[in-house]
């Protein structure tokens, strides 16, 4: 597996991704320390809940790292254009380079990206043909982790049994309510924002329309007939194996759209 790293030099993007990472770090540290480990040590919850929380947290971080560092589909300065596909290429009026149709020039990154959806400051990267599946994973795992966090914060006060072995002098014990309120607020904001973003991304994928094309009021009939949801997601994720759609630590291989979709899972 060969993973190429792609970094965008943008101080504002660095600030935005630092905020996202800070939210992840806060909940990954305080929720297990305040809720999971104390209740597990006293036998109130099974070990599987602790493991599941860390799996969701790890997958969320992996998706964030891969989405922010993966090449979104940057076009080379001197691309090789097959003779049979020349009619599907056009000249960019900003960088004066040839590019496939449905590509877009990102003014923030300074280059053209194949099938660019949008530039996302929260990952400090463009969302394009080669990392759209990673951005979709990030939205999904951020929803899962945020919802998991909200459920645990709620259960801490309304469902779990009271803890008996707490050290009342510890900082986390004395400020538990404030710390969990901050965690719950972050969970509500992240879950609401990521759910809305995930919905818009899924509707765009299923209708074969990027965010830029939606804003420009392009018609999806320009690019071909509507596809099944399985083929649409398989094309974005680069594989027909559905289990691999959820794994961020892999490479993506383009699919041939002329092949008929066959379910393997």
Give the Cα separation of 119 and 39 in Å (integer): 42
- Both tokens assigned to 124: 């400090």
Q: What is the chain's pLDDT, residue by residue, as a tens digit (265 residues)? A: 455 677 777 889 899 999 999 999 999 998 988 888 888 888 888 999 999 999 999 999 999 999 999 999 888 877 778 777 778 888 888 888 888 888 999 888 888 999 999 999 999 999 999 999 999 999 999 999 999 999 988 888 778 777 676 655 565 556 677 888 899 999 999 999 999 999 999 999 998 888 888 887 655 444 545 678 888 899 999 898 999 999 998 888 887 654 443 333 3
- What pLDDT is attached to residue 226? 61
Helices (H), 77-218: 132-158, 171-174, 176-206, 211-215
Helices (H), the chain: 11-31, 37-41, 47-69, 132-158, 171-174, 176-206, 211-215, 229-237
Torsion angle (degrees, nearest 10) of CA 120, 212, 207, 217: 150
Give the Cα separation of 231 and 45 in Å (integer): 40
- What pLDDT is attached to residue 264? 36
Give the Cα separation of 191 and 211 in Å (integer): 21
Give the Cα separation of 28 and 183 in Å (integer): 10
Which residues, at least 6 apart from 24, have a Cβ–Cβ distance to it below 8 Å?
57, 60, 61, 64, 145
Q: Looking at the annotation, which residues are catalytic? A: 120
- What pLDDT is attached to residue 87? 81
The residues that bridge with 127 in the sheet, in sequence order, are 118
Structural domain spans, the chain = 11-73+86-160+182-261
Give the Cα separation of 19 and 222 in Å (integer): 39
- What pLDDT is attached to residue 85? 78
What is the length of the chain?
A: 265
**Cβ–Cβ < 8 Å for 71, 4:** yes
- What pLDDT is attached to residue 129? 92
């Amino acid at each position: 597996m060969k993973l190429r790293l792609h970094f965008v030099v943008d101080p504002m993007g660095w600030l935005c991704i630092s905020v996202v990472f800070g939210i992840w770090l806060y909940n990954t540290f305080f929720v297990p320390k305040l809720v999971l480990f104390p209740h597990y040590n006293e036998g109130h919850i099974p070990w599987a809940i602790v493991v599941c929380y860390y799996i969701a947290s790890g997958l969320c971080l992996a998706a964030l790292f891969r989405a922010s560092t993966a090449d979104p589909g940057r076009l080379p300065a001197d691309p090789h254009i097959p003779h049979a596909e020349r009619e599907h290429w056009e000249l960019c009026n900003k960088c004066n380079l040839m590019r496939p149709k449905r590509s877009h020039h990102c003014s923030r990154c300074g280059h053209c990206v194949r099938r660019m959806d949008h530039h996302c400051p929260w990952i400090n990267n463009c969302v394009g043909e080669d990392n759209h599946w990673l951005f979709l994973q990030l939205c999904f795992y951020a929803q899962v982790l945020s919802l998991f966090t909200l459920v645990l914060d709620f259960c801490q006060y309304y469902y779990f049994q009271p803890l008996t072995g707490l050290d009342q002098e510890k900082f986390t014990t004395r400020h538990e309510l404030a710390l969990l309120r901050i965690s719950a607020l972050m969970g509500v904001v992240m879950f609401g924002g990521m759910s809305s973003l995930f919905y818009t991304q899924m509707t765009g994928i299923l209708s074969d329309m990027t965010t830029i094309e939606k804003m420009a009021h392009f018609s999806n009939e320009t690019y071909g007939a509507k596809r099944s949801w399985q083929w649409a997601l398989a094309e974005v994720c680069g594989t027909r194996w559905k289990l691999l759609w959820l794994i961020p630590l892999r490479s993506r291989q383009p699919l041939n759209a002329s092949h008929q979709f066959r379910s393997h899972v």
